[in-house]
Structure 1
Amino acid sequence: MPGYYKVELEALAQLITQLGETANDMSSAMKQLKDIGPKGAGCDELEQACDDFQGKWGYGIGLIADATGGITEGLSETRKIYETLEDQITKSFQASGKADGK
């Protein structure tokens, strides 16, 4: 059938979970790097590397984490809509079967 597609609700739920975890992990990693600060790692080279990375990538990774959070929210709403629609269709078929005396 042309244009046919199927939404895998469980796969969508897994994607939502994974994206949410990814956004949290990115935010957590950047916070940990920031918390190390200029004197938290005990090794000058590591402290400098953390500080350099935070300075160069912190803003961008923050934007990615925020965008990922937004995508996760949108997918969650989409999943709810598909679940509701699927429930309504199921109930409609069940009701029509009862109306036919089946």
Structure 2
Amino acid sequence: MESDLQVNTDQLGRFATALSRSLTSLSEARRALEHVRAAQLGTKELDEACDGFQGRWKYGADQLSARIRTVHVGVKLSREGYAQVNKAIESAFRAVDSRA
């Protein structure tokens, strides 16, 4: 059986970079929202809604960040593993070519 699996390590590297940037953007958005205090907005109801949102946003953002970090680590490890395999295959072909 023939495998159709092809891995582009450059694309994995770009994906890892994009994941890292998304973590930075998410962190920056959270920091920006932390500076907005409910008391600055107006009515008591609006203030309470803002406080509730802040709590849910922080929890959700923390959960999302943790998952992105996990995927980021996995992508980086996959890229490194495939790069090592590619180097080993290339070395093996060069060794065969040098014998011929």
Q: Structure 1: how far apart are the matches of 2:92 and 2:3?
A: 23
Gaps of 5+ in 1: none
TM-score (norm 2): 0.81
Q: Structure 2: how far apart are the matches of 1:37 and 1:68?
A: 28
Q: State the structure with bigger RCO (CA 8 A, min sep 6), 1 or 2.
A: 2
List structure 1 runs of 4+ shifted beyond 6 angstroms.
none
SS at match of 1:36: coil
By how many angstroms is 1:50 displaced? Answer: 4.8
Gaps of 5+ in 2: none
1:44 aligns with 2:59: no
TM-score (norm 1): 0.79
Q: Deviations over 1:68-87 (max 9, x none)?
A: 01110111011011111101
By how many angstroms is 1:52 displaced? Answer: 3.5
Q: Structure 1: how far apart are the matches of 2:38 and 2:95?
A: 67
Q: Structure 2: how far apart are the matches of 1:85 and 1:27?
A: 35
What residue number does 2:70 align with? 70
By how many angstroms is 1:94 displaced? Answer: 0.5
Q: Percent identity?
A: 24
Paired residue total: 97
What residue number does 2:15 align with? 15
